[in-house]
Amino acid sequence: MPQSEPLLPTVTNTRDYDSLRIDPSIWPIAMQAICHRHGLPTDKLVRFGDGTDPAGGSNVVFAAGDHLVIKLFPPYRKSLFEAELTVAEHIYGKLSVITPEIYAHNRLDDWPYLIMSRVPGVYLSELWDALDAREQLRFTIELAEVLVQLHALPTGNLPLLDHNWPRLVAHRIETCVQRHREQEVPAYWLQQIPTYLEYAAPLYPPNFTPAIVSGDIHQYHLLATRQNGRWQLTGFFDFDDAIVGFQEYDLAAAGLFMMVGNPTLLRAFLLEYGYPKTDINEQLSHRFMAYTLLHRYRPFNWVRADFANESCSTLEEIARTIYAL
């Protein structure tokens, strides 16, 4: 029999994928093929976003009705697929919040995909700014409790996750200035980065206990539901950036997005997580800022414009502003 034409093109780099991702004609056909393969209805396929907003994620994701999600990964990002599958299966049913359950995984024309449960709830990002200070504090404490649970899970049998935290951090430090230069960060700030990273070091203790971390835990990946007359944290999703590393990589992400410039929230979060009061200090703020600089999805121009005071003239001042303690 003649071989059928592939539904998805061959993509080997981010530039080609980014131009393809916004094409609305390709993805419904691919998703229909996946649904037919697994005996799923095709009449309620709805894409999350349109591929133009980086905040919507880098993968192509569709709802398949009210209860299922299909997540499609480009072939050259196989490691993201492996991380999502590994962590979702490892943590399912082990946290106090709901996480996706994996129902199936396979490939379509060499593009890996997952079929998983759709976690119920409202995006916390839709509620966060409207919550009063007491409600934000309650959510912050609930999130700390979830992260304690996540970071306590064993990591010894997760071979598909990157386990070499020292190597990863060293590589991120080595390439940090160049990455920010490519994102058109002004030279004034670029020249501060090497000295600042040295000042913030060490970024982790030599004997730290490895944990599952993603550096991407914030209100856009958290869900809430209304229970007993109030909103509660009930869902958590998106693990494709997960690695095995040091806990503060996750704490820095949550602090940046949800507690920026709010020492009351950040201190409560850290105390609930388990930090002694004596360890909640300015050096911790600088480690969080260093991890923000090293994060591959934290463009400095965006961080500075959205989260820092315009009067800040040094990275130290930005750290004290964002991660105020």
- Per residue of the chain (325 residues), what is the pLDDT tens digit? 444 678 898 889 988 898 888 888 899 999 999 999 999 999 999 999 876 666 667 899 999 999 999 999 999 999 999 999 999 999 999 999 999 999 999 999 999 999 999 999 999 999 999 999 999 999 999 999 999 999 999 999 999 999 999 999 999 999 999 999 999 999 999 999 999 999 999 999 999 999 999 889 999 999 999 999 999 999 999 999 999 999 999 999 999 999 999 999 999 999 999 999 999 999 999 999 999 999 999 999 999 999 998 899 999 999 999 999 9
* Residue extent(s) of CATH 3.90.1200.10 domains in the chain: 122-322
User: Regarding the domain with residue range 122-322, which homologous superfamily does it belong to in the CATH classification?
Assistant: Aminoglycoside phosphotransferase (APH), C-terminal lobe (3.90.1200.10)
Any residues with CB less than 8 A from the CB of 117 and at least 6 apart, and which? 67, 68, 69, 100, 101, 103
CA–CA separation, 278 and 270 (whole Å) = 11
The H-assigned helical ranges of the chain are: 14-21, 27-38, 78-91, 133-151, 165-182, 187-190, 193-200, 248-258, 263-273, 282-294, 300-307, 315-322
Question: Is the domain 14-117 a CATH 3.30.200.20 member?
Answer: yes
For residue 103, the surrounding DSSP H or E stretch is strand 102-108
Residue 34: C-alpha distances to residues 64, 95, 106, 118 (Å)? 10, 30, 9, 17
- Give the pLDDT score at 52: 67
- Give the pLDDT score at 50: 79
CB atoms within 10 A of CB 17: 19
Q: CB-side exposure of 299: number of CA atoms within 13 Å?
A: 12
CA–CA separation, 174 and 104 (whole Å) = 38
Any residues with CB less than 8 A from the CB of 254 and at least 6 apart, and which? 143, 147, 217, 218, 269
CA–CA separation, 122 and 218 (whole Å) = 14
CA–CA separation, 43 and 262 (whole Å) = 45
- Give the pLDDT score at 159: 92
- Dihedral through CA 74, CA 77, CA 82, CA 85, nearest 10? -40
- Give the pLDDT score at 218: 95
- Give the pLDDT score at 79: 94
Of residues 133, 86, 134, the one with CA closest to residue 112:
86
For the whole model, what pTM was predicted?
0.94
CA–CA separation, 38 and 203 (whole Å) = 45
* Residue extent(s) of CATH 3.30.200.20 domains in the chain: 14-117
